């Protein structure tokens, strides 16, 4: 059996945790979490998602979080669930992008054409 000599654990808490909360977590609290993780030695982490804020209001501060991570000097990964999200992440100069793909073609087609509700 093959065992790798090294592994990398990528922290996703700064992105995954807040997006599931019913109430938005203040941006400053997110920055504090990211700073503490960086001080603990995690220098590459998934910090935010560029999902449309109408779908996930907790991620409305994605650009600010991206800018903060750049200043902090960590390698951030941002989740981009569609092309528009990817474009926003590129403009924000996020160095690494995460995408997700569903297990079924039908799901993937629905995700690509699904649009946020009109306000």
**pLDDT at 111 (0 to 100):** 59
Length of the chain: 119
CATH topology of domain 13-113: Rossmann fold (3.40.50)
DSSP secondary structure of the chain: ----S-----B-HHHHHHHT-SSPPPHHHHHHHHHHHHHTT--EEEEEE---TTT-GGGTTHHHHHHHHHHHT-EEEEE--SHHHHHHHHHTT-SEEE----SSHHHHHHHHH--PPP-
Tell me if the pTM is above 0.85.
no
Distance in angstroms (rounded) separating the CA atoms of residues 115 and 56: 12
CB 85 within 8 Å of CB 77? no
Splitting the chain (119 residues) into consecutive groups of 10 residues, what average pLDDT does each group show?
88 89 91 96 93 90 96 94 92 92 74 51
**pLDDT at 112 (0 to 100):** 58
Phi, psi for 115 (deg, rounded to 5): -125, 150
CB 111 within 8 Å of CB 118? no
């Amino acid at each position: 059996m093959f065992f790798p000599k090294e592994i990398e654990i990528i922290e996703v808490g700064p992105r995954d945790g807040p997006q599931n909360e019913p109430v938005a977590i203040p941006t400053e609290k997110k920055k504090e979490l990211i700073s503490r993780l960086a001080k603990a030695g995690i220098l590459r982490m998934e910090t935010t998602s560029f999902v449309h804020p109408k779908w996930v209001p907790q991620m409305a501060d994605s650009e600010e979080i991206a800018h903060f991570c750049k200043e902090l000097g960590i390698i951030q990964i941002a989740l981009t669930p569609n092309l528009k999200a990817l474009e926003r992440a590129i403009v924000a100069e996020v160095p690494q992008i995460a995408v997700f793909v569903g297990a079924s073609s039908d799901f993937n087609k629905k995700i690509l054409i699904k649009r946020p509700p009109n306000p």
